[in-house]
Amino acid sequence: MYYQIAQEEGLPDREVYSIIEDRSGLIWLATNSGLYSYDGKKFVLYKHPEQRKTAVFSPQIDAKGRLWFCNLNGQFFYIENKEITLFGDFRNLTKDVVVNFSIIDNFLFISTNQSIVRVHIATKEKKEFLYKERRPGISKVIKIEQDYFITDGEKLHLINELSNITFSKKKGIIGSTKAEKCGDKIITHFYSGNTNEFFLFQEEKEIVLNGVEKVKDLSILNIEYRGNRVWILTSDGAFEYIMQHNKLCFQNKYLRGYSVSSLLIDSKNNIWFSTLSSGVFVIPDTRIKKINRIHTTNSITNFKAINDSIIFYVEGRKFFTKNNLNKANLYSEEVKRLHTQNMFYDAYLNRFYFFNGIEAFIYDKNKLLPYSKADNWGSKNVIRINENTVWVSFYNKLLAYNTKTFEKVSFIKGRCNKLLLNKESEYAYVDFYQGLKAGKNIQDLNFVLYNKQRIFGRALTEQPKSEFVWVAFENKVLCLKGTTVINTIIIDKKYTVLSLSSDINKLWIGTNKGILRYNYTNKKLSVLNRFNQVFKPNIKQIETTENYTYAVTDSDIFRFSNTYTNYNVLPDKPYFKVTKEKKRSYKKSEVFEIESNDKSIDVEFMINGFKSLENHQLEYRIDQNHWRKIKNNNLTLSSLSYGNTELQVRALNFKGEVSEVNSLPIFVHKPFYLQWWFITLLVIAIIIAIVFFVKFLLKKQEEKKDKEMYQIEIKRQITNLKLENLRSQMNPHFIFNALNSIQEYIYSNDKKQASSYLVKFSRLIRMYLDHSRVSEITLQKEIDALFLYLALENSRMGGKLTYKIEVENSLKTNAILVPSLFIQPYIENAIKHGLLHKRGEKKLSINFYQSKTNLYCEVTDNGIGRESSRNMKRGKMHSSFSTKANTDRVKLMNIEKMIEMRVEVQDLKNKNNEAIGTKVQIVLPVKKI
């Protein structure tokens, strides 16, 4: 089973001359279009700017891990740390032909058709060893112990102490120049006439190698020695031999029909073949054989392995048998729906039965014939109980047949499918839809219970030469003895068990993700890691014979030895590819720097080699924290801490073995506001700000204190003004007039009027005293006081005053506050200075109304006017407490409460510009309770 890597899979060139693996597990390919590296996922071209030709040849690894290669123009290059260097240009020696070269010790040996050139790698000192005559072709230099050897088209030559070239005493054979070091020996190939011959040289002894008949007439492209195996690469594939007693013993042939140019067995035991026209082929495991099928378009529906060499299988509507796994015989071309039901092998009669739901067939003595005697053509499964009896499962019943008389012995109802007989215990197991039953007689079957629950078996198998039966149930495989569960294997939930089979030593478990194996001796469950990871099979059927295990998928049949074990390959060290603006691989000595405005990076994790990522579980951790699994081999690191951070990654193989840890130091730059210089400046700025802030607070406290003192002073002045208003309202003249009025009523013996006037006067005085204790009263209380005051003034004026107080209907007088002792002085002023000296009708109108934000009070009289009043007061010593006090009070209240109160006085005149009265408008902001 091999994988082809060609141009369709990303290989840049199908003409590949050589393939090699470096110490890191990276694969290198020398092709017609250049040198490429392959990490198992991507190809990368390496080309020097001074490189003249694209085709490169003979990549080799020196003792320092550097990769050397050359081209047709005599240029020699090496790659170190993924940087390509031109070592030297020897075009004058190579003459634009392909030459062989070797890196031995600290020297570069170039084999030309005229000489051997030795170049010191450190000093580039050159020394040339000439032949006595021109040679048709020279092999690479091979060192064994202290001697250096080459071959040409005729002889094997010894270069003694690198001083001269002498000829060996071997018989000269004209031909090719293939030579390969084989331990302390040299194996060479010569082409003589029309045949290939191979020789082994050791201590001046020449041994002819036999057993190479399969390659005698082929074109030999290369010879490779790996372990104890010799690989002869030809124009018709690669031939694998084992050297035993100086004889080449043929083992396998690979890639028939391909011109194989080189071979690589990598560090993970994958075998790589490069070809001259078809790219690269990889064999992950030569121990796993894929059985060739005639038709590959149909799915395999049934399979049976009789022994190590004979198998039967059904695909589509055709039945095949393979003997010795070479040729396939085809039967039943015309059989319809052969794959839809069941194939049963009767080992007792050595015949096959086929049931397809329509008809039955038997395969006996290499013939496929209709089986008309049976009426069990609709069966799902068949088992032989003994020499005379078989059990047959149907969709609605289980029948027992006598195979000689074809009579029904007994039956029970119930839909059933899988059947199994344990030959040692003679227990039969029947997978009913209601659960698994077991018993020795069809009428005595009992349910098999696990933790008091019925078992529904997905797959059944018996353990050879024992009374044990294994059944797949949920994520477990149970071991039964009779109807008792005696052992349990817990299966990881990522696996779904599809089939079971057993040999003497092991239980083989086929799943949706490959094969598991349970060892009966050490009771350990293991994973066929290489098989599962490379082939990714969905094993729907698995069977074992004496020496082999067969794994069947929908499209393939695989075979491997029952002793198959996983390669003990330690996990490789993973590495990083950090994605920013471009991808780059990082080593341990490098630091990846991130700017402060982007604290996240995308990391891709890689392991070099063929499907290496699929064979490992990667884990990471940051700054020595817990290890975490990596999904899809990609990771996004975000919100990294500023400063130094270390990202670590490791790989685990299927055994849980851990690779060497690889680390990526990461440095996240701090933003400018976290830099020391910015912090220093910020601290200084904060100190300066604190000083200014403290000064500001102190200034504010002083201003607040001054404001408080100012407010206290304003309140004191307002209080004084209120007292002045109160004094104006309770001045001696008003009281004297009121008392005179009361006296007149008493003298006139008008007790009723005297009593009424006295009550009103006392109530008004009481109101004024109450109002003087507060700064604000309701508008209704102010109106009530005004009514009392006007009633007293009207009585004092002999009833000559006509007055009215109008309030807007929408005005809520009990919900609006006005300054106390504020409105009355303006009414008193209208009476005293406007109406008192007027002849005729004296009218006073007071009107209250409201806008959205203000309360309006208009006091209108038809008095003599302000100008006549001023003329009458000239020369009189009189001070109006009410006018002056209210004016000052308005100013102070506007300052204290940051509101706007205003008083506007308007002189009313007729058409002749004669005074007909005065109108005072008081505007107060609306303040509600």
Model pLDDT for residues 850-900, shown as the tens digit of each residue: 998 899 999 999 998 888 888 876 655 444 555 666 777 677 677 666 568
Angle at alpha carbon of residue 455, lines to 453 and 461, rounded to 5°? 150
In which residue are the tokens 């066929």 written?
A: 528
Pairing of strands 575-579, 300-305: unpaired
Per-residue pLDDT, 95 = 78
What is the per-residue pLDDT across 389-430, written as a single tens digit (0 to 9) for each?
Answer: 888 888 888 888 887 776 788 888 888 888 999 999 999 999
State how far the Cα of 138 lies from the Cα of 154, in Å rounded to an integer: 10
Whether residue 384 contacts residue 346, with contact meaning beta carbons closer than 8 Å, is answered with yes
Please check the confidence at residue 589 and state whether its pLDDT lies above 80: no
Q: In what order do the strands lie in the sheet with 816-819?
A: 776-778, 816-819, 927-928
CB atoms within 10 A of CB 810: 7
Q: Which long-range contacts (CB under 8 A, 24 or more apart) does 200-205 make?
A: 200/246, 201/149, 201/156, 201/168, 201/170, 204/168, 204/169
Q: Spell out where 72-125 has E strands.
A: 75-80, 83-89, 100-104, 107-111, 115-120
Per-residue pLDDT, 204 = 65
Per-residue pLDDT, 170 = 42
Per-residue pLDDT, 749 = 67
**What's the pLDDT band for 290 if we cut at 50, 70, 90?**
confident
Per-residue pLDDT, 114 = 76
State how far the Cα of 787 lies from the Cα of 782, in Å rounded to an integer: 9
Per-residue pLDDT, 22 = 92
Average per-residue pLDDT for the chain: 82
**What's the pLDDT band for 804 if we cut at 50, 70, 90?**
very high
Per-residue pLDDT, 175 = 40
What is the per-residue pLDDT across 420-461, written as a single tens digit (0 to 9) for each?
Answer: 999 999 999 999 999 999 999 998 899 999 999 999 988 999
Average pLDDT of the segment spanning 286-291:
84
What is the per-residue pLDDT across 323-378, written as a single tens digit (0 to 9) for each?
Answer: 655 554 554 444 444 444 577 888 887 777 777 666 667 777 667 666 655 455 56
* Selection from 56-65, 190-199, 386-395, 622-631 with the highest mean pLDDT: 56-65
Q: Which long-range contacts (CB under 8 A, 24 or more apart) does 805-809 make?
A: 805/846, 805/847, 805/848, 806/845, 806/846, 806/847, 806/848, 807/783, 807/848, 808/848, 808/849, 808/850
* Selection from 230-244, 528-542, 595-609, 735-749 with the highest mean pLDDT: 230-244
pTM > 0.75: no
Whether residue 540 contacts residue 510, with contact meaning beta carbons closer than 8 Å, is answered with yes
Average pLDDT of the segment spanning 218-223:
89
Per-residue pLDDT, 588 = 46
Per-residue pLDDT, 176 = 47
Per-residue pLDDT, 340 = 47
Per-residue pLDDT, 885 = 65
**What's the pLDDT band for 470 if we cut at 50, 70, 90?**
very high
Residue 415 neighbours by CB under 8 Å, 6+ apart: 394, 395, 396, 432, 433
Whether residue 836 contacts residue 823, with contact meaning beta carbons closer than 8 Å, is answered with no
In which residue are the tokens 């002085």 written?
A: 825
Please check the confidence at residue 298 and state whether its pLDDT lies above 80: no
Compute the chain's Rg from CA coordinates: 58
**What's the pLDDT band for 734 if we cut at 50, 70, 90?**
low
Per-residue pLDDT, 599 = 66
- Coil, strand or helix: which one is 740? helix
Per-residue pLDDT, 600 = 72
For residues 861-882, one letter each, b for 16 or more C-beta atoms within 10 angstroms of the residue's C-beta and e for the rest, the string is bbbbbbeebeeeeeeeeeebbb
Among residues 382, 464, 473, the alpha carbon closest in space to that of 425 is found at 464
User: What six digits make up the tokens of 49?
Assistant: 């700017």
Average pLDDT of the segment spanning 99-107:
88
Please check the confidence at residue 670 and state whether its pLDDT lies above 90: no
State how far the Cα of 453 lies from the Cα of 460, in Å rounded to an integer: 18
Whether residue 558 contacts residue 1, with contact meaning beta carbons closer than 8 Å, is answered with yes
Per-residue pLDDT, 894 = 74
**What's the pLDDT band for 765 if we cut at 50, 70, 90?**
confident
Q: Spell out where 229-317 has E strands.
A: 229-234, 237-244, 247-254, 260-265, 271-275, 280-283, 289-290, 300-305, 310-315
What is the per-residue pLDDT across 136-171, written as a single tens digit (0 to 9) for each?
Answer: 667 788 887 777 777 766 667 776 654 544 444 344
Per-residue pLDDT, 509 = 94
In this prediction, what percent of the chain has a pLDDT beyond 90?
31
- Enter the DSSP assignment of 77: E
What is the per-residue pLDDT across 813-860, written as a single tens digit (0 to 9) for each?
Answer: 999 999 887 888 888 889 888 888 888 889 999 999 999 889 999 999
- Enter the DSSP assignment of 276: S
Residue 117 neighbours by CB under 8 Å, 6+ apart: 90, 93, 109, 110, 126, 127, 128, 129
C-alpha of 269 from chain center: 32
Tell which wins on pLDDT, 478 or 349: 478
Lowest pLDDT segment from 246-255, 267-276, 292-301, 729-738? 729-738
Please check the confidence at residue 582 and state whether its pLDDT lies above 50: no
Per-residue pLDDT, 376 = 53
Per-residue pLDDT, 656 = 76
Please check the confidence at residue 194 and state whether its pLDDT lies above 70: yes
Per-residue pLDDT, 269 = 85
Per-residue pLDDT, 358 = 63
Among residues 163, 216, 161, the alpha carbon closest in space to that of 194 is found at 216
Per-residue pLDDT, 793 = 85
Tell which wins on pLDDT, 872 or 546: 546
Per-residue pLDDT, 122 = 92
**Half-sphere exposure in the Cβ direction for 609 (13 Å, CA):** 27
For residues 181-205, one letter each, b for 16 or more C-beta atoms within 10 angstroms of the residue's C-beta and e for the rest, the string is ebeebbbbbbbeeeebbbbbbeeee
State how far the Cα of 64 lies from the Cα of 589, in Å rounded to an integer: 18
In this prediction, what percent of the chain has a pLDDT beyond 70?
83
What is the per-residue pLDDT across 686-717, written as a single tens digit (0 to 9) for each?
Answer: 999 999 999 999 998 888 888 878 777 777 66
C-alpha of 372 from chain center: 62
Please check the confidence at residue 112 and state whether its pLDDT lies above 50: yes
CB atoms within 10 A of CB 277: 11
Please check the confidence at residue 266 and state whether its pLDDT lies above 80: yes
Average pLDDT of the segment spanning 762-786:
86
Per-residue pLDDT, 533 = 66
Tell which wins on pLDDT, 129 or 193: 129
**What's the pLDDT band for 301 if we cut at 50, 70, 90?**
confident
Per-residue pLDDT, 723 = 53
**What's the pLDDT band for 538 if we cut at 50, 70, 90?**
confident
Whether residue 572 contacts residue 659, with contact meaning beta carbons closer than 8 Å, is answered with yes
